Amino acid sequence: MAAVVVFVCFGLLLLVLLWPTASNGKRLLKKWQVLDPTDAQVADAVRYLKRRRMLYPWLYPAIGYFTPLRDGHGDILVTVLVGTLLAELLALRPPRTARRVASLTPRGLSDIASKWVLRYYVVIVVVATVYVGSYLRWDLVGWLLLSAAVVGVIIWAAVTRPATGDQDVDMALRTRSVHVSAGLGAAVAGALVLSPWGFIGILAWIAMANTKPVPAKIDR
Amino acid sequence: MSAPRIVVDLENGVAPWRQVRDQLVRLISGGVLPVGSRLPTIRQLAADLGLAAGTVARAYRELETEGVLTTGRRQGTVVAALPSHAPDPLSAAAAEFVAVARSLGASEGEALNAVRALYGAE
| pLDDT number for residue A204 | 82
A160·B41 Cβ contact <8 A: no
Q: Measure the CA–CA gap between A188 and A173, rounded to whole angstroms.
A: 22
Closest residue of chain A to B78, computed from CA coordinates: A106
Report CA-CA distances (Å) from A44 to A40, A48, A55, B22, B86. Answer: 6, 6, 18, 31, 39
Phi-psi group of B105: left, alpha or beta (phi > 0 → left; psi -120 to 50 → alpha; rest → beta):
left
On whether the CB atoms of residues A42 and A25 are closer than 8 A, the answer is yes
Query: What does the H/E/C string look like for chain A?
Result: CHHHHHHHHHHHHHHHHHCCCHHHHHHHHHHCCCCCCCHHHHHHHHHHHHHHHCCHHHHHHHHHHHCCCCCCCHHHHHHHHHHHHHHHHHCCCCCCCCEEEEECCCCCHHHHCCHHHHHHHHHHHHHHHHHHHHCCCHHHHHHHHHHHHHHHHHHHHHHHCCCCCCHHHHHHHHHHHHHHHHHHHHHHHHHHHCCCCCHHHHHHHHHHHCCCCCHHHHCC
B8 contacts A102? CB cut-off 8 A: yes
Give residue B11's pLDDT band: very low, low, confident or very high (50, 70, 90): confident
Confidence of residue B22 (pLDDT cuts 50, 70, 90): very high
> Count of CB contacts below 8 A, A vs B?
70
Spell out the domain ranges in chain B. 16-121
Q: Provide the shortest C-alpha distance from residue B49 to chain A (in Å).
A: 5
Whether residue A104 and residue B4 make contact (CB cut-off 8 A), yes or no, is yes
- B1 pLDDT band, cuts 50/70/90, is low
Q: Which of B29-33, B52-56, B116-120 has the lowest mean pLDDT?
A: B116-120
CB atoms within 10 A of CB B21: 20
Domain made up of B16-121: CATH architecture: Orthogonal Bundle (1.10)
Q: Give chain B's mean pLDDT.
A: 87
CA distance A214 to chain B (A): 18
Chain B residues touching residue A112 (CB < 8 angstroms): none
Angle at A163 between CA B92 and CA A214, to 5 degrees: 95
Query: How many angstroms separate the CA of residue A98 from the nearest CA in chain B?
Result: 5
Interface of A to B at Cβ within 8 Å reads 94-96, 98-107, 160-163, 167, 220
Q: Spell out which residues of chain A touch residue B38, defining contact as CB-CB under 8 Å.
A: 106
Query: What is this model's ipTM?
Result: 0.72
Q: How far apart are CA A140 and CA A193, in angstroms?
A: 8
CB atoms within 10 A of CB B64: 15
Contacts of A106 in chain B (CB under 8 A): 38-41, 44, 76
Q: Which residues of A fall within a CB distance of 8 Å from B3?
A: 103-105, 167, 220
B47, A94 in Cβ contact below 8 A?
A: yes
pLDDT in tens, A138-194: 988 998 999 999 999 999 999 999 988 888 899 999 999 999 999 999 998 888 887
Distance CA A77, CA A14 (A): 12
Q: What are phi and psi of B120, to 5 degrees?
A: -65, -25
Q: Please give the mean pLDDT across all residues of chain A.
A: 85
CB B21 within 8 A of CB B49: no
Q: Which of A94, A101, A106 sits opposite B40 (nearest CB)?
A: A106
**Core vs surface per residue A45-80: b (16+ CB within 10 A) or e:** bbebbbbbbebbbbbbbbbbeebebeeeebbbbbbb
Interchain CB distance below 8 Å, B8 and A99: yes
Percentage of chain B exceeding pLDDT 90 = 52
Per the CB < 8 Å rule, is B40 touching A162? no
* Per-residue pLDDT tens digits of chain A, which is 220 residues long: 677 777 778 778 878 888 999 999 999 999 888 888 999 999 999 999 999 988 888 888 777 766 665 555 677 888 888 999 999 999 999 888 888 989 999 998 988 899 999 999 999 999 999 998 988 889 889 989 999 999 999 999 999 999 888 888 999 999 999 999 999 999 988 888 876 666 777 888 888 888 876 644 444 4
Q: How many CB atoms lie within 10 A of CB A210?
A: 11
Task: Tell me the shortest Cα–Cα distance from A107 to chain B, in angstroms.
Answer: 7
